[in-house]
A and B are shown apart, each in its own frame.
Chain A
């Protein structure tokens, strides 16, 4: 059994058959089935998604400190790397924490994407190929071939409005995640990425079946919802500069403390500021045991932080 067969067995077949069965139970509406499966998959991966968001958020809170270190050790790259690693360790934040859940989710997204493309089977060649993936459930066979009409859309061909929607939702999601960078160059690059990615995706969407665009839009909307639940509107709402300045001053103080440490190393001791940052350290500094990287134990603390520190979430009433 080759890797392709294993991929088909564990990823493609379950997803394709689920899509077809969902279509059957959702009034033979393939568009609704795509939305439903996207929601289900997002629900199953919610834990990983939250982990990734919390890890990203934790990384963002370290940015000022990292910036200071970069300035301080601009001419000593090796020392800079050491200090950065030490900072990550002390803060209990792992850079891999942002990436790992994303990597785990990637195959699932690819399988969902491929399944949608296969199930639409608008031409005979694809319908012939689809037969290899089907379980022997009667409901699967009585549902095929699927009807590609959904609202005003033919899910098998591209749609301009949906392409714009893909770009728009992607921009909103990225904007929520984005935080202002102190370095102007980094800020410029972030802004460029903020626009480039949605524009590129919108452009590609035009040449892909709109069934796929429906999947992207649904995914983006769900991610926006999750992101809002965790961090509020984030970068969509401007943060208060005053609080940012106060916070930066405290980071500078901490860095200064590190510099003055007799050992010569960058043993960052943050007795009170960690709480302020929302990171649930029970111990501090060198007394705290290494937890082996990862992210804060209690992500709720991070979620609350924008309200206290930056006021990102809009007050109601």
Chain B
């Protein structure tokens, strides 16, 4: 074979490789991510907003792995300035065979941080819980100290001297808030993505095994369980001795907090993802079917519904008698709870997935564009924006 033939052959092989790569990636997985990006909602304590920004996606063929980093950011709520930011520990990959090490597990964070007793708690997708100083960001403890749990999508709840969270390994964990020592664990039948809710001594949490569990917050013993028709990934709301929770079966359930008996269920066109809010005996729940439903808290009767034009992923918040809710396409609405009339508050023009948070008449919105926006609820004016890229 001459040089020319070799060159032709090499060209053909290169062309084939390019064809396969383009076929597999551009055509195949455009818009489909296989790596977690995260991006939690904010938690506010003493004028500081704690937030874990979404990860940067590194380049690649559309199915790229993200940059293996993750951080906790403390922001001054009055002016949007950064108080501090710390990188969360990056998982060290074990070396693989043939000199190929597997990719490090990125520290994406989906759940909102929790703050209690000078500590801020963060649950990482890498299967670790971090406790950091809320004033300096210094790391106090990590659980587990060695190895990792399964990926954690759930947020953390800090109460009664403990830290509670659910894990994709199907277990609910309770850790000592000061030391990170495990107090108890409770195994469910499937993955847990739901963030727990605490009311008194009872912890409520949903699981992919289609059940809502009521557990003793003290020792993790089961009080009751309620089985829905679909998996549960949303976070429960406890209000007036009732637990309200959405399921993949498209129902919003109202379950007695004391006995686990279903009181009513409301069927929508798609499923409920975020935690609803309650005000004046009305439940406001955003749904993937683009609507927000206002339901009677006692009997589930539909009082009103609003079409926001795109699915509602983020959790609504209550500010001064107004329900603030954001649609996926970036429009932020204020529903006047007194007459159930909606009004457009702002359009941030970026996708919104993360739960909203509010304090002192200001709502804080973290967008998938990796920007944190502060909006005055009364006027709709944008107070400041902070980019976290």
Interface residues of A (CB under 8 A from B): 110, 113-114, 117-118, 122-129, 131-132, 134, 136, 138, 141-142, 144-145, 147, 156, 185, 188-189, 192-193, 196-197, 200-201, 204, 207-209
Contact = CB atoms under 8 A, between A and B. Distances in A.
A185 B249 contact: no
B208 A145 contact: yes
B24 A204 contact: yes
Contacts of A156: 34
A208 B313 CA distance: 28
A208 B64 CA distance: 11
A140 to B, nearest CB: 9
B127 to A, nearest CB: 14
Contacts of B153: 124
Contacts of A136: 269
Nearest to B54: A125
Interface of B: 1, 5, 9, 12-13, 16-17, 20-21, 24, 27-29, 31-37, 63, 110, 153, 190-191, 193, 208, 229-231, 233, 248-250, 269-271, 273, 288, 311, 313, 353
12 contacts: A110-B27, A114-B32, A128-B288, A128-B313, A129-B32, A131-B271, A134-B270, A138-B249, A141-B230, A193-B13, A204-B21, A204-B24
A3 to B, nearest CB: 13
A196 B229 contact: no
Contact of A129 (B31, B190, B233): B31
B111 to A, nearest CB: 10
Contacts of A193: 12-13, 16
B251 to A, nearest CB: 9
Given A123-B34, A188-B1, 15 more contacts: A110-B27, A114-B28, A117-B34, A118-B32, A122-B34, A124-B36, A125-B353, A126-B32, A128-B273, A129-B31, A132-B311, A145-B233, A156-B34, A197-B20, A208-B24
Contacts of A189: 9, 12
A223 to B, nearest CB: 17
Nearest to B210: A142
B37 A125 contact: yes
A127 B208 CA distance: 13
Contact of A204 (B20, B31, B249, B313): B20
A131 B290 CA distance: 11
Main secondary structure of the interface of B (DSSP, over half): loop
A138 B1 CA distance: 63
A147 B31 CA distance: 22
B32 A145 contact: no
A210 to B, nearest CB: 12
Contact of B231 (A118, A144, A188, A204): A144
A144 B32 contact: no
B273 to A, nearest CB: 7
A144 to B, nearest CB: 5
Given A145-B208, A189-B9, A200 B17 contact: yes
Nearest to B108: A123
A118 to B, nearest CB: 6
B110 A131 contact: no
B230 A201 contact: no
Nearest to B36: A123
A142 B230 contact: yes
B288 A196 contact: no
A123 B231 contact: no
A205 to B, nearest CB: 10
A145 B248 contact: yes
- Main secondary structure on chain A at its contact with chain B? helix
A131 B33 contact: no
Given A196-B13, A196-B16, A197-B16, A185 B1 contact: yes
Contact of B9 (A142, A144, A188): A188
Nearest to A207: B63
A144 B13 CA distance: 42
Contacts of A132: 311
Nearest to A144: B248
A156 B33 CA distance: 12
Nearest to B20: A200
A124 B110 contact: yes
Nearest to A185: B5
Nearest to B39: A125
Contacts of A127: 233
B270 A131 contact: yes
The 3 A-B pairs at the shortest CB distance, nearest first, are namely A123-B36, A117-B32, A131-B288
A188 B6 CA distance: 10
B20 A144 contact: no
Given A188-B1, A189-B9, A124 B20 contact: no
Contact of A141 (B1, B249, B311): B249
Nearest to A204: B24
Contacts of B233: 127, 145
Given A124-B110, A124-B193, A131-B270, A110 B28 contact: yes
A141 B288 CA distance: 12
B311 A131 contact: yes
A142 B250 CA distance: 9
A128 B271 CA distance: 10
B5 A144 contact: no
B28 A142 contact: no
Nearest to A147: B190
Contacts of A147: 190
A292 B35 CA distance: 51
Nearest to B231: A145
Nearest to B10: A192
A131 to B, nearest CB: 5
A189 B12 CA distance: 9
Nearest to B267: A138
A196 B269 CA distance: 49
Contact of B353 (A128, A138, A192): A128
A40 B353 CA distance: 37
Contacts of B229: 138, 141-142
A287 to B, nearest CB: 41
A224 B103 CA distance: 34
Contacts of A124: 36, 110, 153, 193, 353
A143 to B, nearest CB: 8
A183 to B, nearest CB: 11
B190 to A, nearest CB: 8
A123 B313 CA distance: 14
Contacts of B353: 124-125, 128
